[in-house]
Chain A
Amino acid sequence: MSETAKSFPRPSSLKVTPGTEAAQAAYPYYCQFQPGDDDRFWFYNSMHFPEPMHHFDMITAEAAYCALGAFNTRVHVLPTTKGIDHRIINGRVFIGGVPVTDPEEVQARAEEFQKRGFYYYENWEDLYAQWKDKMKALIAEAQAMPKPHLPDLEPMETTHTGKGIAANQELIDTYRRQLNGYYTMWHHHFEFLLLGYGAYMTFFDFCKTAFPEISDQAISRMVAGMEAEIFKPDEEVKRLARRAVELGVDQHFTPDMDIDTVLADLDKVGRDGKEWLAELETSRNPWFNVNVGDGFYHYHRSWNDDLSMPFAALPGYIEKIKAGTNIERPMDQLIKERDELVRDYRELLDTEEDKATYDQLIELAHRVFPYVEGHKFYCEHWYTNLFFNKIREFGALLVEHDFFEKEEDVFHLTHYELESAIIDLMLSWSSGSPPIGPSRWPAIVAERQKAIDAWAGETVPPALGEVPDVIDDPAIVMLWGITRDNLDMWLSDGESDPNEMRGFAACNGVVEGIARVIKSVKEIDKIQQGDILVCQVTNPTWSPLFQKISAAVSDIGGSMSHMAIVAREYGLPAVVGTGNASQKIKDGARIRVDGGKGTVTILEQPAEARELEDA
């Protein structure tokens, strides 16, 4: 029992920010806080949703939780946990687990799980091969969807083929199929994920018991796959850098280049330039379908949509290649190191029984890990990217018909509202009368943009409601790294050294430097060589940045977050899951990151922040 009477605020005590009531009310009714919610524990899902949610983007939360819960609760039938409930207030998504506590129910579910979940483990490779086919088919289907378009008159072909369906029907058909595809993608996403994490966690727990002081990093390094898709985009940038040098066109890539000019110039400089452009095309499909964020927001654009991220990395890589520095991932060596690590830890086990168990667990972890590492590229990046771009096309069509001003405004509508706007447009096209939307949506869009701006500056409590004595919901622990320990840490915030923050030690090393607090992806270009990246959630597709920074700190993430994996690859000191480093540390502060201990210390806040505090 917890003796400290401290707890987080109750959901009912949170007030909707004045002036944003209408925007709050426009989120679907099923994600508004309910009276009974005060008795439950909720935490702010800043790992996936670190910024206020545009109304359309809430589709990611509901699609993901529909799928996550379906697999936990009713497909694999996890014995001790069901799904995730989600609520939104002031643009922030709070989530709560649904643990199963009745021993009889746990027992009954355990029996089911051993028939269902175990079938997946038994047939992992076959099912995963099948998964990739399913995902690729889903991606192909999304790629084949027509661009939403309303011709003045139906093409003659409709008449000649006896098609019998007009363009306005195709509009809603595309929209609904695209929505279906997105929900389906999330089902695929969760088909394997919890089982994969579970197998990994089993090995993790064994190691922590056998070697109480083993670092999380050492365990991750033993499990890490070497060929994971997530390394590919950065590998492609390195390849392009190498090709630029080989083709003698590297002088075009400078830190202050204008990308369009560079592309146009390369097209003009003859065969070598054209050859490089062809190389760029092969890299772009599919590997530049990575978002600069985690793929949960419409504005996390892909490298393909905005080449500035991969291009920002090119000059640095080119310089290194020309200086003779090897920038390749030494595959053979990485694999050898991993195998040695696995062997050397095994040697330290006392009994033959422990060695046998260890062999079983590492083998299982290695079997499941390709999925855990690889799925994100197909789901959160490639598919999500296609999805938001298709919605953007609907935005452009609605702009064309004066529903609102900018294509991006479409994301201020919920997916229901967007469907209604499309039907409005369909009706108008069919009747020949003007649509109603143009008199309705501009004011709403403006109001919601104002709300998002207001919410963006707010400090969000990390959790709400009653603190449970133990958190043993495996889904919460695995996916969000939330444990009783870090709740206590969040609660005790302010009592210990106010300048020190703790998190997961993600990658070893001590670095002092200037903190660059990146609140959104758009601020990435603030980062200078040698800065320490401080952000809410770090993302593997930022990896080209890693050659620039000297350390990384994030609010959210466990030692298996992709960020941690990439940091280890680059040997960059990193602390993840600090809770609130990006709020406490001011941009430009001098900080120390100890990636071995998992601590971040503010050494000196920047001048203007100090003045504010003194005042």
Chain B
Amino acid sequence: MEAVAWFKDVGIADRPTVGGKGGSLGELTQAGIDVPAGFVVTVAAFEQFLEKLEAREPIRPLVEALDPQDIGAATKLSEQLRARVMGDEMPEQVKDALKAAHAQLCKDGQPVAVRSSATTEDADDASFAGLQDTFLWVLDAEDMIARTRECWSSLYSVESMTYRRKQGIPEDGVAMAVVVQRMVNSRSAGVMFTRSPTTGDKSVITIEGAWGLGSSVVSGEVTPDKWVLGKITGEISQRDISDKHARQVPAPEGGGIVEVENESDMRTAPCLTDDELLALREVGRRIERHYGKPQDIEWALDQDGKVLLLQSRPETVWAVKDAESTPVKKPEGKAYNHVMAIFGGKKP
């Protein structure tokens, strides 16, 4: 297997080799949704790297031998293994593949985002296990490779290792893919649920957004504007424009992001126009139709107002409740028997 796989060549079914995030972005790209271009550093790259590390000194047996209750030992091992993942030599063919892919992706030197892409079935487990890492506005190939190592090294964080030991997950299958994607210097960004997070209503789309990069919304550092739209009608039934005190933007130099104060008129101005809301709704509906179930989406608008999708995963909270729910009302022999709910003093 190749060390690198492009979004356009992978799908959800490739999760074991490109992880959940990589597979989802590939799936969306293939479905014709605008996703910033990128590639996945596959599990194969990680395996080759680990093989080289283990050739010198074992890694997996040390983790397997760990007592999850012994935090002291875990901390020590974590420091040791993470240092190796960060510092030890990388196989030349992996390094070359990453550099070549980066050169192809960023012909004019655009910055990228580097994100871990876990291979476990349930991405929520992965986040519980401390595997989520995201590095924004990464400037060059060297830095991109370093951030990839950092993602990999999160497999050897104290939480991650002790979690695996408690769950009895064999180290042999433990691997990680990493997504490298062109960075969007977004004007506005945020999240979108294709059903109501509060009532589970599938006929509405909830959009939350703020100025600048979406990280401020995802991390909860800014109270986002919130809208509720009719999924089918497109009517905007709710508009809560919040006081958005700050936004996250690319750092002026050296990569990464910084937070800047919003000017007063920007703070209380809606970060999306009605047309943009409707464009987002269109994209949300397309993705939902593609997957056949409600989605939890991260989006960004570039400086020209073009909608770009950064992530989409199935909504999980209400999906569980759906499985237990009963019909709203059972059919009757005659349609008009239903009116007894209104006239008969019987509540449906």
Are A and B associated in one complex? yes
Residues of A within 8 A of B (CB): 78-81, 106, 110, 113-114, 117-118, 121-122, 195, 198-199, 201-202, 205-206, 209-215, 217-218, 221, 341, 344-345, 348-351, 353-354, 356-357, 360-361, 363-364, 472, 474, 505, 508, 510, 594, 596-597
CA A360 to CA B333, docked complex, whole Å = 10
Chain B, residues 199-221, CB within 8 Å of chain A (1/0): the string is: 11111100000000000000000
Q: Name 27 A/B residue pairs within 8 A (Cβ), A-sorted.
A: A79-B343, A79-B345, A80-B345, A106-B345, A110-B340, A118-B334, A198-B339, A199-B339, A202-B341, A206-B348, A209-B328, A212-B196, A212-B201, A213-B199, A214-B201, A215-B237, A348-B203, A350-B327, A353-B331, A356-B331, A357-B327, A357-B332, A360-B335, A363-B335, A472-B345, A474-B343, A594-B239
Q: A215 and B328: CB pair below 8 A?
A: no
The interface residues of chain A lying within 8 Å CB-to-CB of B230 are 214-215, 218
The interface residues of chain B lying within 8 Å CB-to-CB of A505 are 237
B57 at interface (Cβ–Cβ under 8 A)? Answer: no
Which of B233, B239, B325, B341 has the most chain A CB atoms inside 10 A of its CB? B233
B88 at interface (Cβ–Cβ under 8 A)? Answer: no
Q: A213 and B196: CB pair below 8 A?
A: yes
B107 at interface (Cβ–Cβ under 8 A)? Answer: no
Q: B338 and A596: CB pair below 8 A?
A: no
User: Shortest beta-carbon distance, A470 to chain B, in Å?
Assistant: 11
CA A199 to CA B202, docked complex, whole Å = 24
Q: Which of B336, B345, B348 contacts A209 (CB 8 A)?
A: B348
User: Shortest beta-carbon distance, B115 to chain A, in Å?
Assistant: 32
CA A604 to CA B129, docked complex, whole Å = 56
CA A348 to CA B293, docked complex, whole Å = 10
Chain B 81-105 interface residues, beta-carbon cutoff 8 Å to A: none
B232 at interface (Cβ–Cβ under 8 A)? Answer: yes
Chain B 171-203 interface residues, beta-carbon cutoff 8 Å to A: 196, 199-203
Q: A361 and B338: CB pair below 8 A?
A: yes
CA A360 to CA B329, docked complex, whole Å = 11
**Chain B: interface residue total (CB-CB under 8 A):** 37
Q: B341 and A205: CB pair below 8 A?
A: yes
Residues of B within 8 A of A (CB): 196, 199-204, 228, 230-233, 235-239, 322, 325, 327-332, 334-336, 338-345, 348
B196 to A, closest residue via Cβ: A213
CA A498 to CA B199, docked complex, whole Å = 30
CA A81 to CA B338, docked complex, whole Å = 17
User: Shortest beta-carbon distance, B76 to chain A, in Å?
Assistant: 52
CA A357 to CA B330, docked complex, whole Å = 6
Q: A217 and B235: CB pair below 8 A?
A: yes
The interface residues of chain B lying within 8 Å CB-to-CB of A364 are 335-336, 338-339
CA A202 to CA B344, docked complex, whole Å = 12
Q: A474 and B342: CB pair below 8 A?
A: yes
Which of A78, A113, A351, A357 has the most chain B CB atoms inside 10 A of its CB? A357
Q: A212 and B199: CB pair below 8 A?
A: yes
Beyond A78-B343, A106-B345, A213-B237, whether A353 also contacts B201 by CB under 8 A is no
Top-3 shortest CB links A-B:
A121-B336, A360-B335, A356-B331
A209 to B, closest residue via Cβ: B328
Chain A residues touching B, majority SS? helix
Beyond A215-B230, A354-B328, A357-B327, whether A80 also contacts B343 by CB under 8 A is yes
CA A213 to CA B200, docked complex, whole Å = 9
Q: A217-B233, A508-B235 are in contact. List 12 more A-B contacts (CB 8 A).
A: A79-B345, A110-B344, A201-B342, A212-B200, A213-B228, A215-B237, A217-B235, A218-B203, A348-B202, A357-B329, A472-B345, A596-B237
B232 to A, closest residue via Cβ: A344
User: Shortest beta-carbon distance, A147 to chain B, in Å?
Assistant: 45
Q: A79 and B341: CB pair below 8 A?
A: no
CA A124 to CA B167, docked complex, whole Å = 65
Q: B329 and A354: CB pair below 8 A?
A: yes
CA A110 to CA B233, docked complex, whole Å = 38
User: Shortest beta-carbon distance, B87 to chain A, in Å?
Assistant: 53
A217 to B, closest residue via Cβ: B235
A344 to B, closest residue via Cβ: B232
CA A211 to CA B204, docked complex, whole Å = 8
Q: A221 and B233: CB pair below 8 A?
A: yes
The interface residues of chain A lying within 8 Å CB-to-CB of B345 are 79-80, 106, 110, 472
The interface residues of chain B lying within 8 Å CB-to-CB of A117 are 339, 343
Q: A205 and B343: CB pair below 8 A?
A: no
User: Shortest beta-carbon distance, B337 to chain A, in Å?
Assistant: 8
CA A205 to CA B345, docked complex, whole Å = 14
Beyond A79-B344, A354-B327, whether A202 also contacts B339 by CB under 8 A is yes
Q: A360 and B331: CB pair below 8 A?
A: yes
CA A79 to CA B348, docked complex, whole Å = 16
The interface residues of chain A lying within 8 Å CB-to-CB of B327 are 350-351, 353-354, 357
Q: A199 and B237: CB pair below 8 A?
A: no
Q: B343 and A113: CB pair below 8 A?
A: yes
Q: B232 and A218: CB pair below 8 A?
A: yes
CA A199 to CA B342, docked complex, whole Å = 8
Beyond A121-B336, A350-B322, A474-B343, whether A209 also contacts B329 by CB under 8 A is yes
CA A249 to CA B343, docked complex, whole Å = 55
Q: A597 and B203: CB pair below 8 A?
A: no
Beyond A206-B329, A212-B196, A353-B330, whether A360 also contacts B338 by CB under 8 A is yes
